């Protein structure tokens, strides 16, 4: 399975008050097996924007912490007509355009969108393309080869 990483997960890697063991487990797995992960291209822009707003050294943290991850072999999906067409289905279910891109990518790749956005997950839970990871990682997380 391929895992789609939400910006809400990445922010927890760099903000002390937001740390979460499951976010740390995702990061550890990205470092060891980046090919199991994907993000829509907007991920980098979202993480950069939040870090610049809430971290005293946002640009430095992004350059030293996020860019190496993005360049490690993680799949980065550029925006395309197909992605937007599929994202629109999730917009119709109530997601923002940003979140819909993560969900559409998960659906396109047969993967699972890992997020800390409980509301977004609940809006599309029946579609089985997302997992709210605040308390636990998906059942099949352990079954994937490393």
Residue-range domain boundaries for the chain: 3-141
For 75, residues 6+ apart whose C-beta sits below 8 A from its C-beta are 2, 35, 37, 38, 39, 109
Q: Which residues of the chain have pLDDT under 50?
A: 146
In this prediction, residue 46 carries a pLDDT of 97
The hierarchical CATH code for the domain 3-141 is: 3.40.50.1010
Q: Is the pTM of this model over 0.85?
A: yes
Chain position carrying tokens 């809430």: 54
> Any idea what DSSP says for residue 134?
S
> Any idea what DSSP says for residue 144?
S
In this prediction, residue 146 carries a pLDDT of 47
């Amino acid at each position: 399975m391929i895992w789609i990483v939400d910006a809400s997960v990445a922010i927890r890697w760099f903000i002390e008050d937001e740390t979460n063991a499951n976010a740390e487990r995702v990061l550890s797995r990205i470092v060891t097996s980046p090919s199991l992960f994907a993000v829509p291209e907007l991920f980098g822009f979202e993480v950069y924007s939040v870090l610049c707003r809430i971290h005293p050294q946002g640009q430095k943290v992004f350059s030293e912490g996020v860019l190496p991850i993005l360049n490690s072999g993680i799949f980065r999906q550029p925006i395309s007509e197909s992605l937007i067409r599929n994202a629109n289905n999730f917009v119709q279910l109530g997601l923002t355009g940003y979140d819909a891109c993560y969900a559409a990518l998960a659906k396109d790749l047969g993967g699972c969108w890992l997020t800390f956005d409980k509301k977004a997950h609940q809006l599309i839970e029946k579609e089985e393309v997302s997992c709210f990871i605040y308390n636990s990682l998906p059942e099949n997380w352990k079954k994937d080869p490393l």
